[in-house]
Amino acid sequence: MSLHAVGLTKHFPGGGTPAVDNVTFDAPDGKITTLLGPSGSGKSTVLRLIAGLELPDRGMLRLGDVDLASVAVQERGVGFVFQSYALFKHMTVRENITFGLAVRRMPRREQADRVAAMIELVQLQDLADRFPAQLSGGQRQRVAFARALAIEPRLLLLDEPFAALDARVRVELREWLRRLHDERHVTTILVTHDQSEAMELSEHVVVMHEGRVEQAGPPREVYERPASPFVASFVGGATLLKGRAQAGRAAVSTFNVAAPGAADGADVSAYVRPHDVRVTKPATDPATENDTLGVKLARVERLTFLGGTVKLALILPDGAPMTVHMPAAEVAAHGITEGDRVLVDLAEAKVFIGDYSI
């Protein structure tokens, strides 16, 4: 069942600017839609508005053909999974999952059958009689998912559900959720600040910043065609280089990039992602020459090994810093080390007219 949010606005007492400001987006039926943005961007407030835990000052929420403004919280058919698990400490796994069904006065035999199915779904058959304190973080979060799914929600809301887990468990649980969703196809809205999480899990991404929607669309579209400087800098990370336009192009740091539509002399901001740069060592020894084939060289200030990838912190010839990610094997093949002077080839930049900051 699809969700349509139109013009959602929410102020909190004592706040100057709205926490949520004219937010409009669609969450497609049976898909995972992610609200992606930094802390304080309004993501969790939007989720609470959808659940009915907060009331909007303005705007409309429609689930399928139903206007949620006229529907009580307990009747919205929404399952909610929190970052903190929110399990009842004095209840076993089985009792926690049963809770929502008992509140809805489902017959006991049906409760038992539903709970057994949920326990099997989240693969906790051997742990059904344990208490939350006897479970790992990943197991507790799977109980939270089972409890939310047990009521057969029309909409599943996930508020940073993996943030409290360590890195390995977080990756494993993401893969588990993806498989679970492929089986259940519940329309899901996920809140996260983790870009890799959004890209891996979502069919639709809504990027938020300062209470507003910056861009919404498929993950690849948001990544490859950012609609604003904020999206270009936040999604994928980027180095910001500035310059001025001349004849449809702009010199930004030591690079020359296309700047279509920019008037001569206009400020230009170019966002360069770490994977859109190629670094090689010059054919000649830069220690004996001022430049190589007329090209000024960048300096490798620091190398940080990240497993199969190496992060290079470069200083460009004009003193501007740049971050580059390269396969570790490629760095080794070129023999690149800290202190080297290297050639930098810019494959692509996201160019915006104006003087922006990350």
This prediction's pTM: 0.88
Share the mean pLDDT of the chain.
Answer: 89
Tell me the pLDDT tens digit for each residue of 86-139: 888 999 999 999 988 888 888 888 889 988 988 988 888 889 999 999 999 888
pLDDT at residue number 286: 58
Can you tell me the distance from the alpha carbon of 326 to that of 117, in angstroms, rounded to the nearest whole number? Answer: 46
Inter-CA distances, 77 with 51, 178, 313, Å: 9, 21, 49
Identify the pLDDT of residue 284.
Answer: 67
Which tokens belong to 165? 């887990």
Domains in the chain with CATH codes: 3-234 (3.40.50.300), 239-353 (2.40.50.100)
In a 3-state reduction of DSSP, which class is residue 117?
A: helix
Higher-pLDDT residue of 172 and 33 is 33
CA dist., res. 200 & res. 205, Å (int): 11
Specify whether the CB–CB gap between 52 and 71 falls below 8 A. yes
Cα of 65 vs its chain's centroid, Å: 29
- Cβ of 286: how many Cβ atoms within 10 Å? 17
Q: Which tens digit of pLDDT belongs to each residue from 276-332?
A: 999 999 876 655 555 544 457 999 999 999 989 999 999 999 999 999 999 999 999
Mean pLDDT of 236-244: 90
- pLDDT: which is higher, 108 or 10: 10
What are the tens digits of pLDDT across the range 40-60? 999 999 999 999 999 999 999
What are the C-alpha distances in Å from 30 to residues 33, 63, 68, 202, 323?
A: 9, 12, 19, 11, 38
* Per-residue pLDDT, 287: 56
3-class state of residue 107 by DSSP:
coil
Amino acid at 229: P
Amino acid 176: pLDDT: 87
pLDDT of residue 294: 47
How far is Cα 178 from Cα 159, in angstroms, rounded to an integer? 16
Q: Maximum Cα–Cα distance for the chain, whole Å?
A: 85
- Burial bucket for residue 168 (CB in 10 Å: 0-12, 13-18, 19+): exposed
Task: Determine contact, residues 81/160, Cβ cutoff 8 Å.
Answer: no
Cα–Cα distance between 82 and 181 in angstroms, integer? Answer: 17
User: Confidence band (pLDDT; 50, 70, 90) for 358?
Assistant: low
CB atoms within 10 A of CB 338: 11
Residue 131, SS3 per DSSP: coil
**pLDDT at position 261 over 80:** yes
